């Protein structure tokens, strides 16, 4: 079951592009909703990006503002997990929208380097929070 659901805007409140955030009651509920993606067997949170579009009656396709879904579960809402997934969201948004994201040059190792980048960034945020309190 979904515990909370809200939008986060990609470039802040003034922009229409957003990610839908879903916080599930349990890890199992989250996994059941995202197991069909098939990217990872085991995950603590997930960022699923896509380019939504619509077609009008004349066949013209236009981009929709939803850039994807970021999912968490209630017992895992921690600064480093949030930071990790938001980093994935930014990286994928850059890649999907042609924003000069050069990490790995979108070759075969792009996903691996993206994961490394997000893990490192999340760990730094985690350490900051641990030492700041």
pLDDT of residue 99: 62
pLDDT along the chain (133 residues), means of 10: 89 79 94 77 88 88 91 92 88 75 62 67 62 53
What is residue 45's predicted lDDT score, i.e. its pLDDT? 93
Question: How many independent structural domains does the chain possess?
Answer: 1
pLDDT given for residue 75 in this prediction: 95
Confidence at residue 108, expressed as pLDDT on a 0 to 100 scale: 64
User: Which residues constitute the domain of residue 56?
Assistant: 2-132
CA distance 33 to 23: 11
Asked if residues 84 and 122 have their Cβ atoms less than 8 Å apart, the reply is yes
pLDDT score at 28: 93
Output the pLDDT for position 118: 77
Please give the pLDDT value at position 1. 93
* Whole-structure pTM value: 0.74
């Amino acid at each position: 079951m979904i515990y909370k659901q809200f939008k986060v805007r990609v470039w802040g409140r003034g922009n229409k592009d957003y990610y839908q955030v879903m916080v599930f009651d349990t890890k199992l509920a989250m996994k059941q909703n995202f197991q069909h993606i098939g990217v990872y067997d085991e995950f603590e949170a997930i960022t699923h990006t896509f380019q939504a579009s619509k077609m009008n009656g004349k066949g013209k396709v236009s981009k929709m503002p939803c850039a994807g879904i970021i999912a968490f579960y209630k017992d895992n809402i921690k600064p480093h997990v949030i930071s990790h997934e938001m980093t994935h969201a930014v990286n994928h948004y850059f890649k999907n929208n042609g924003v000069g994201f050069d990490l790995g040059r979108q070759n075969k190792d792009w996903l691996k380097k993206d994961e490394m980048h997000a893990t490192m960034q999340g760990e730094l945020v985690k350490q900051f929070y641990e030492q700041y309190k």
